[in-house]
A and B are shown apart, each in its own frame.
Chain A
Amino acid sequence: MKYASFAKTSGLAALLSVAIAPQASAVTLEELAKRLDTLEAKNQLLQQENSALREFVQQTDKKADAAVSASEALADNSSIQKLADWADKTTIGGYGELHYNNLSGKGGEDDKDAIDFHRFVLFFGHEFNDDIRFFSELELEHSIAGDGKDGEVELEQAYIDFDLNDQHTARAGLFLLPVGIINETHEPPTFYGTERNPVEKNIIPATWWAAGAGSQGELGAGFSYAAYVHSGLNLNIDDKFSIRDGRQKVSKAKANDLAATARLKYTGIAGLELSVSAQHQQDMGQGLVAGLGSGNLIETHAIWSTGPFTLKALYAAWDIDVSAVKTADPLKAEGTDKQRGFYLEPSYKISEQFGVFARFNQWDNKAGSNSGLAADSEKEQWDIGVNYWPHEDVVIKADYQYQSNDNGKDLNGLNIGLGYQF
Chain B
Amino acid sequence: MKALLLIISLLCLQTAFAKGVYQTPESFLKSNFNDQVPVSKTIWLNKERKQVISDILQHTPRFIRVKYWQQGEKTAWILHEVGKEKPITVGIIIENSSIKKLKVLEFRESRGWEVKHEFFTHQFNELMLTPEQMLNGTVDGISGATLSVRALKKMARISLYLEQQL
Contact = CB atoms under 8 A, between A and B. Distances in A.
A222 B115 CA distance: 11
B16 A392 contact: no
B165 interface: no
A391 interface: yes
B8 interface: yes
B51 to A, nearest CB: 16
Contacts of A181: 143
A161 B18 CA distance: 15
Contact of B144 (A164, A217, A267, A352): A267
Interface string A256-292: 0000000000011111010000000000000000000
Contacts of B150: 392
Interface of B: 8, 11-12, 14-20, 58, 85, 110, 113-114, 117, 119-120, 123, 134, 138-146, 150
A100 B8 CA distance: 47
Interface of A: 91, 125, 133, 161, 163-169, 181, 184-185, 190, 215, 217-222, 267-271, 273, 303, 305-308, 352, 391-393
A166 B19 contact: yes
Contacts of A273: 142-144
B138 A166 contact: no
Contacts, number: 83
Main secondary structure of the interface of B (DSSP, over half): loop
B146 A270 contact: no
Contacts of B134: 352
A218 B140 contact: no
Looking at A169, A270, A303, the one whose CB has the most chain B CB atoms below 10 A away is A270
B144 A307 contact: no
A215 B8 CA distance: 8
Contacts of A269: 119
Contact of A167 (B18, B58, B114, B142): B18
Contact of A218 (B18, B85, B123, B138): B18
B11 A217 contact: yes
Contact of B11 (A215, A221, A222, A305): A215
B17 A166 contact: yes
B72 to A, nearest CB: 31
Contact of A222 (B110, B117, B139): B117
A163 B58 contact: no
A267 B140 contact: no
Nearest to B8: A215
Contacts of B12: 164-165, 168
Report which residue of A91, A168, A217, A307 has the largest number of chain B beta carbons within 10 angstroms of its beta carbon.
Answer: A217
